[in-house]
Structure formats: structure tokens, C-alpha cells
Amino acid sequence: MADNGTTKRLARRDVLKGAAAAATFTILSPSSVRGSAANSKIALGVIGCGGRGNWVTNLFAKHGGYQIAACGDYFPDRVKGFGEKHGVPAGQRYTGLKNHEKLLAGAKVDAVAIESPPYFHPMQAAAAVEAGKHVYCAKPIAVDVPGCLTIGEAGKKATAKKLVFLVDFQTRANAIYQEAVKRVHNGDIGRLVNGVAQYFCGLSFGTTLPGDAEGRLRKWQMDQVLSGDILVEQNIHALDVACWIVDADPVSAAGTGGRKLRKGDGVIYDHFNLVYVFPDETPISFTSRQCGKGPSDIGCFVHGSKGTIDTHYSADVKVLGDTPYAGGNTGGLFQSGCVENIATFHKSITGGVTHNPTVAQSVRSNLTCVLGRQAAYTGQKATWDEMMKSASKLGADLKGLKE
């Protein structure tokens, strides 16, 4: 999944250069185990061989505990390039819309990393768990309510089958974020009053969407359905932190959004403005911009009766007030969070830790984004209960794509 890397703090180009330079990897042992033998590598299949898939696979390889055993993507050129770069045998490379099904049926893998467009995550993750594979899934987990519920069920099934299912949010893996949020949960800022979440960055992905199916799929970040729009696909970083802090489902959302620079039906918005109301009448306002030249920030402040938590992705995280926490700078989080999650995924598989806490958290924040998107698209106040009852499904136009 493409975190766009548009903020200066993320410095993604530098990250990619470093990762590519470090991407030498030698397979030391066969991977027929399910991560139980101490000196065996976990055989990993990567589903989604685009920018994020390649980048995250570099980190899996660098970890040392994984063997990149198989790969899948719709596009043959991407699969070929990925396979050659990461040493995937020719017979373990799969293409087409059903590449994940072919991979799960044909490849000898213990685990899969799902790095495809978000629209496909639920079906791919559910199929992987069904096939007995551990799942490492990029955010967002889905683009609509049914997709979120599918992931929730897949996570429960994974636990029942003693499989690991980890959703890759970098913030939740960071020790400073964890400590700051724990203090809020304990009561260090008192009762929650209100808050602000925001995601500001410059224009990325472009302004228009190709008309043909393959063109849209290649540029899926620009497609409202395949990506879920920027609110679900990108802004979730800020809203996930807000949900984590508040530790509750929102009751409602209202607001607006639109396109100032982007044009065309089905093209993602470039800004959203929303007000969420959480239980105990706790409002959290949210603003995002993915255009313009202003400062970049993925932030969340929540105010309580005795203090404030102040968080910024890849920057300072702290708690202010009666019981302060100096926290620290979370610089480099785009990579360090992912490295941490990859290590946790490995430890969980080898250690049999399968309670999979990231799944329910991700379902909550993903649904929160879907709620806000519904409010902005319709201009009407959207409630959680009504959204969950209607459970509307987004349908992507996949006509013309090869299986």
C-alpha cells in the first residue's frame, strides 16, 4: 500500500535509496516449517508488487528471518521486476486479478504480506487465513463496511487457527506513542474534553485518472473505490491515532470535502473537513489537505480536564498538563514502525502469539474513516449505527481486467 511519502518528515526518497542499497539477501535454509524451528526462515509470499510492496519487502529481507518465496500482482511487468530483484523463483510468481488465489494454491509459503490496493485486502486476507497462512496486512484494511467486517472475522479466525494477523500501522508500533496513549488511558489528562486530528501534505498521485481499467488499476491511489479515497487510504494515520486515544467507536460524523485541484468522476478528493462525535459527547474535528504547498503534518491533539496529548507522526509526541510526559521525537517512523512490525510479526509466529490485537483496532479506525467519508460524500450527518446497519459495499469497475 502506498503511503505517499509526500511529507518532508517522511523523507521517503531517502528511505528507498537506503533500503535498495541494503537489499542483498541469502536464503540459508528451506522454509517448509511454519516458523516453529529456531533456525528456519519464514517463507513469505508478497501480494502486491508495486512501490510499497517492493519497499516493504526490502525490510522483510533485511530482517533476516524471512525468505521471499513467492509474489503476486496483476501486472506481469511488476511481478517480473519484483521477482528478479528479490530472488523469487520463476515458478513462484503469479499474475492476473486472481494472483493471490494462484499464489495461495501453488506456492509453499508460511505467511503472506498483503501490499495490494486496499479494495482487494479483505478477499485476499480472508483467503490467506482460510489457506492457513499468517497475514501481514498494509493499512487500510478495507474500503467499506463489509470489507472491514470481513477483516475482523478473518482476524478472529486466524486466532482460532493459531495464525498471526498483523496490520501495519507504524504509530501503534512506536514506544513513545504507546507510552503517551497508555498515560491517557490511565487518566493522566483526566476526562477527555475534545480534540483535533489533521493530515496535511502536498499534491501527490496527480490530478486525473486514466479511463481504461488497467490504467486505473495501475494508478489505483487516484481511484475513489480502489483506494477508499484519501480519507481512508492516507488520512487514516491521523484518525487511527485519534481512535486509539479515545478508545471508542465514534457516534457520528458530519462535514464536507471535495476537489480543488483534482478533476473527474471517481477521482479522489483533495481535502476533507469533518467533526466526529465520540461517546460522552466528545467531539474530534478533523481536517485534511492533499494539495497545496503548506506545512505537512499528521497530527492529533486531544484535550482532557487535566492535560493534553499532542502527537505528530515522525515528529514530537508528548503529554502536557498536571502529569506531563516529555515523550520524544518519533523521527523516521515511516520506516522504523514498519521494521518494528516486521519484527513483531516474526516473533509472534515463532512464539505462537496469536491474539492479534491490531485487527480490532484497525477495524475500528477504518470504519471511522468510512463514516467520515460517507458524511462528506453525502453532506449529511452519518451515524455509526446506521452505517453499520446499511453496510454499503463499494463496487469497483474491473471490466476488462484479466483473471
- Report the DSSP beta bridge partners of residue 256: 273
Min separation Cβ 339 and other proteins, Å: 17
What's the closest the beta carbon of residue 341 comes to other proteins, in angstroms?
Answer: 13
Report the nearest approach of other proteins to the CB of residue 323 (Å).
6
**Options 355, 360, 390, 397; binder of other proteins; rule CB under 8 A:** 355
Q: What is the CA radius of gyration of the chain?
A: 20
Q: What is the largest CA-CA distance in the chain?
A: 61
Minimum Å distance from CB 18 to other proteins? Answer: 27
- Minimum distance from residue 246 beta carbon to other proteins (Å): 13
Distance CA 40, CA 28 (A): 8
| First vs last C-alpha separation in the chain | 21
292 contacts other proteins (rule: CB under 8 A): no
- Residue 72 to residue 79: CA distance in whole angstroms: 6
Q: Which is nearer to other proteins, 117 or 307 (CB)?
A: 307
The nearer residue to other proteins, 8 or 182, going by C-beta atoms, is: 182
Cβ pair 393, 181 in contact under 8 A: no
On the 0-12 / 13-18 / 19+ scale of CB atoms within 10 A, 168 is buried
C-alpha cell at 133: 497462512
Region near other proteins per CB under 8 A, out of 60-68, 171-179, 281-289, 390-398:
171-179
Q: How far apart are CA 212 and CA 47, in angstroms?
A: 23
Among 9, 41, 93, 183, binds other proteins (CB under 8 A): 183
**CA dihedral for 221, 150, 378, 251, sign (positive or negative):** negative
Q: Is residue 332 a contact residue for other proteins (CB under 8 A)?
A: no
Instruction: Give the separation between CA 70 and CA 86, rounded to whole angstroms.
Output: 9
State the binding string over 242-281 for other proteins (x if CB under 8 A, else -). Answer: ----------------------------------------
Q: Among the candidate windows 41-49, 109-117, 175-183, 265-273, which touches other proteins by CB under 8 A?
A: 175-183
In the complex, least distance from residue 335 CB atom to other proteins, rounded to whole angstroms: 20
For other proteins, the binding residue among 326, 329, 378, 379 (CB under 8 A) is 326
| 134, 157 contact by CB (below 8 A) | no
Cα–Cα distances in Å, from 228 out to 44, 128, 220, 399?
27, 22, 10, 19
- Does position 357 interact with other proteins (CB under 8 A)? The reply is yes
If the CB atoms of residues 256 and 323 are measured against other proteins, the closer one turns out to be 323
Amino acid at 283: P
Q: According to the binding rule CB under 8 A, does residue 347 interact with other proteins? A: no
Question: With contacts defined by CB under 8 A, how many residues of the chain interact with other proteins?
Answer: 18
Task: State yes or no: residue 160 binds other proteins (CB under 8 A).
Answer: no
Distance, in Å, from the CA atom of 158 to the CA atom of 161, rounded to the nearest integer, reads 5
How near is the Cβ of 187 to other proteins at its closest, in Å? 4
Closer residue to other proteins in complex, CB, 101/179: 179
Cα dihedral 122, 124, 129, 134 sign? negative
Of residues 326 and 391, the one with the C-beta less far from other proteins: 326
187 binds other proteins (CB under 8 A): yes
- From the list 175, 261, 360, 391, which residue makes contact with other proteins (rule: CB under 8 A)? 175
Tell me if 234 sits within 8 A of 199, measured CB to CB.
Answer: yes
Q: What share of the chain is helix, strand, coil (3-state, %, to 5)?
A: 40, 25, 35
Does 322 sit near other proteins (CB under 8 A)? yes
Q: Does 306 bind other proteins (CB under 8 A)?
A: yes
Least distance in Å: CB of 351 to other proteins?
11
Q: Is 26 helix (H, G, I), strand (E, B) or coil?
A: coil
| C-alpha to C-alpha distances, 101 to 32, 68, 129, 150, 294, nearest whole angstrom | 20, 18, 12, 17, 43
Can residue 186 be called a binding residue for other proteins (CB under 8 A)? yes
- The nearest distance, CB 115 to other proteins, in angstroms, is 25
Task: Please identify, using beta-carbon distances, which residue of 290 and 356 lies nearer to other proteins.
Answer: 356
DSSP code of residue 223 = B
Distance CA 46, CA 81 (A): 13
- Binding residue (CB under 8 A) for other proteins from 190, 210, 292, 332: 190
Q: Which residues bind other proteins (CB under 8 A)?
A: 175, 178-179, 182-183, 185-188, 190-191, 306, 322-324, 326, 355, 357
